[in-house]
Structure 1
Amino acid sequence: LKTTLGLDWEKDLLSWMEGEFALALIPMSPEQLALQDNPYSAPLGAGLALMVKVSDRSGAQATLQQLDDLITNSYQLPVVETQVNGQPMVSWTATLGGVNATHGWLEGNVVFFTLGAPIASELVPQPQKTLIQAPLFQNTVPTKPNPNTGQFFLDVERTLNSSNLNLAQLPSQQEILAKAINTIGLTVATIDPNRTRFKLFVQLKKQSQPSKAAETKKGDNQQKP
């Protein structure tokens, strides 16, 4: 980190972080994927989003400015101040296309940074319903242990099993396993410095049942001894 970005982990990053953070893989909107001249949809149909609760906004802003200067001076990439849904933010774009990075602010002193496809419009304005309010999340992620130190949720059907993300194809055995899974949820709690407790839940897809008409037809075709 120090060599690549010139940042000190404790001084330039941890000093303004409050402790809470979220990391998400967010698919692009169908509208953006449908654009013929969109340079991001072919290599990747989703982007990573990091959101961090900030205790020192001026310190966080200074670090972001340092990153912007580094991208401009050392990597000669365009750094552009822009607006997404009326909210100011800063974007970096690779000159050959394919990768986009954006950083800005959300409500409640939360700074966000996205990398990959342009997904900032999925964060701003803040969605009316949060992820934890979604029925799929509630039915997948364990509620215990409580209190917890972190949770993980993966919608396998919309990520690994989706062709829109343009991810590398899994080996055949792993692909069969992935196609049988709907979602994965994990809740973790730290008991003490030496012990961690977690609960994992994997929601499998329901196997489709043959219709009565199909069963009757199958029975009619069987030969009697």
Structure 2
Amino acid sequence: MPETKSKFLIPAIGAAVIVTGSIAAYMYLKGPFGDSSGALASAKIVPSTAFIATYVSTDPQAWAKLQQFGTPEAQKIVAKGLDSLNKDLLTESNISYEKDLKPWVGGVMIAVLPSTPANPTPNTGTATREPNILMVVGIKDKLAALNFAKKLKQEKGVTTKEIDYKGEKITETTGKGKPSYSAVLNNTYVVLAPSRQPVENSIDTYKGQPSFASKEGANRVFAKKLDVKNSLAQIYVPDYGGMVQQLIATNSQTTIPPETLKQLKQVKSMVADIGIDDAGVRMKAIANLDPQLSKFQYQNSGAKIVANFPGDTLALINGQGISSWWSAVVEESKDYPQFKQVIEQARGQLKAVNFDLDKDIFGWMNGEFGFAAIPSNQGILAQLGVGGAFVFDTSDRKTAESTFAKLDNLAKSQKINVAQRNIGGKDVTEWQIPQQGALLAHGWLDQDTVFLALGGPIGEAIAQPKTQSLDNSDNFKAVTSSLQKPNGGFVYLDMDKTVSLANRYAVQGQAIPPEAAAILSSIRGLGVTATSLDKSTSQVEMLLALKPKTAK
């Protein structure tokens, strides 16, 4: 977004930028304020042309939960950033957040409306398109809001002009940059925008024109209850396909093939909710799908395969039924010639080395699976510091064995030494590199479970576990145990181990900055899961697990 629009709120509408830009930091350090004005009520004065809206609540109990997390270092950094932001605001407009904004600002809705052509650029001579932003700020103290408005008019270098529009007053405020526009509706809301048209459209809506709350699909998204505790923000997209088309329109250089746009239209609408609970920051989202276009449905996973990975695993993707996913991809490709061509090329390349892509690679992967990144300081991957492991449950062991036999023969043809080892009573095949150890290992853990490991030590850790398994580790349980069940599997990330690995490979002078490292050190990890409630509904849940607040 152009700089003139991104900063349009200072000084004329400094209230909204502070609420949406630093509310989390303020609540983290200073405590709760305000109450929620209500997303649905705000949406009733947002024009129906808006294609996405975000509502930020100022409910005191919700924001107070942030104060239970964070290290002393992280707290200092947030305090420093908030102090800098407040000083910048005072420098720009002599506005104090504590005195001028906190007393009257309620919930905030930010809506994005269709773009309008801008002036041609000097370099290209073509007009660019910029999205129109409208903000609706709830007024919870009318007197305090009035005092704030009076103070703005008295600011040095700030000029205001009132414009009558259908009986309502629009205030044009000009400071150091381009003018911005605002209006007070029924002494209940302030509507704000960097251009006049969105404010006029909002007034039209207030006087009876169709609203965002009344557009097709809105009832569905506003009615969804996602059971998120201490809700901080909700995101509403009543027409997902329409939103994508509007975003494409903002950039004339971006084009999407009709086939791709059709895929995106599988999602009809979406709603998301973000809140704080005892585990950290949690987000839930529900997408309403078109069952005629959607080919794939998540299969529930028992996550039993997680027990095959060591407790120090730093990242994991777990799920069910890769073969079903592949069948959906193949079915989908029938409608997209370019995509189908890519699949056919892959089939041809694998056929050249005696592999059937559909049967040998994906056909037998019909059970639970897990892909993991695991720390390793030994063997051929010692310098890299990390290896990988793939574990699959299958009901077609015969085909799986045939596939691995073909892989071994291919390795032998490349002069790689393929040898057998017994590890913990299990027969394991290794691809060995002279003087360096095993590059790859694979074998059966039981009648239905096969593994493939990158790095000999990783293969040993899978075949003969000597440490606590991942499903019993405190960090994994903290990050994933509260996610929805049943589900289609997990995405899991251990933040401490990931940061440690990132620092290991950082070039001198390019390591993670101390301030960023301090914030990351307050995060335990990331957990994500998804499930298909039915063929027309999918739900995603994400938890940014945070560490409890420690003493200063």
Q: How many correspondences in the alignment? A: 200
2:357 paired with 1:9: yes
Q: TM-score, normalised by structure 2?
A: 0.33
Q: Which residue of 2 aligns with 1:137?
A: 476
Q: Which residue of 1 aligns with 2:366?
A: 18
Q: 1:41 to 1:84 in 2, by over 3 A?
A: same
Q: Which residue of 2 aligns with 1:69?
A: 409
Q: 1:60 to 1:16 in 2, by over 3 A?
A: same
Tell me, in whole angstroms, the C-alpha distance in 1 between the residues paired with 2:394 and 2:415: 29
Q: Which residue of 2 aligns with 1:51?
A: 391
Instruction: Render the CA deviation track for 1:108-145: whole Å, top value 9, x for unaligned.
Output: 41000011463112112357854333332222115443
Tell me, in whole angstroms, the C-alpha distance in 1 between the residues paired with 2:464 and 2:541: 33
Tell me, in whole angstroms, the C-alpha distance in 2 between the residues paired with 1:95 and 1:168: 29
Alpha carbons 1:77, 1:95 under 8 Å: kept: no
Structure 1: gaps of 5 or more residues: 211-225
1:164-175 residue pairs with structure 2 within 5 A?
A: 166-167=504-505, 172=513
Tell me, in whole angstroms, the C-alpha distance in 1 between the residues paired with 2:354 and 2:520: 40
Q: 1:39 to 1:139 in 2, by over 3 A?
A: closer
In our comparison, the structure showing a higher alpha carbon Rg is 2
Q: TM-score, normalised by structure 1?
A: 0.73
Tell me, in whole angstroms, the C-alpha distance in 1 between the residues paired with 2:402 and 2:428: 15
Tell me, in whole angstroms, the C-alpha distance in 2 between the residues paired with 1:174 and 1:96: 40
Structure 2: gaps of 5 or more residues: 1-345
Pairwise CA distance, 1:100? 1.4
Q: Quick check: 93-102 or 9-18, which moved more?
A: 93-102
Q: Quick check: 94-103 or 186-195, which moved more?
A: 94-103
Q: Quick check: 18-27 or 117-126, which moved more?
A: 117-126
> Amino acid of the residue matched to residue 449 of structure 2?
V
Higher helix share: 2
Q: 1:109 to 1:23 in 2, by over 3 A?
A: same
Tell me, in whole angstroms, the C-alpha distance in 2 between the residues paired with 1:15 and 1:127: 33
Q: Which residue of 2 aligns with 1:119?
A: 458
Tell me, in whole angstroms, the C-alpha distance in 1 between the residues paired with 2:473 and 2:364: 30
Q: Which residue of 2 aligns with 1:89?
A: 428
1:143-162 residue pairs with structure 2 within 5 A?
A: 143-162=482-501
Tell me, in whole angstroms, the C-alpha distance in 2 between the residues paired with 1:168 and 1:80: 36
Identity of aligned residues (%): 26
Instruction: Render the CA deviation track for 1:72-94: whole Å, top value 9, x for unaligned.
Output: 11x32221112223421111134
> Amino acid of the residue matched to residue 183 of structure 1?
G
Q: Which residue of 1 aligns with 2:71?
A: none
2:389 paired with 1:41: no
> Amino acid of the residue matched to residue 24 of structure 1?
A
Instruction: Render the CA deviation track for 1:141-175: whole Å, top value 9, x for unaligned.
Output: 15443221111221111233247x94456664865
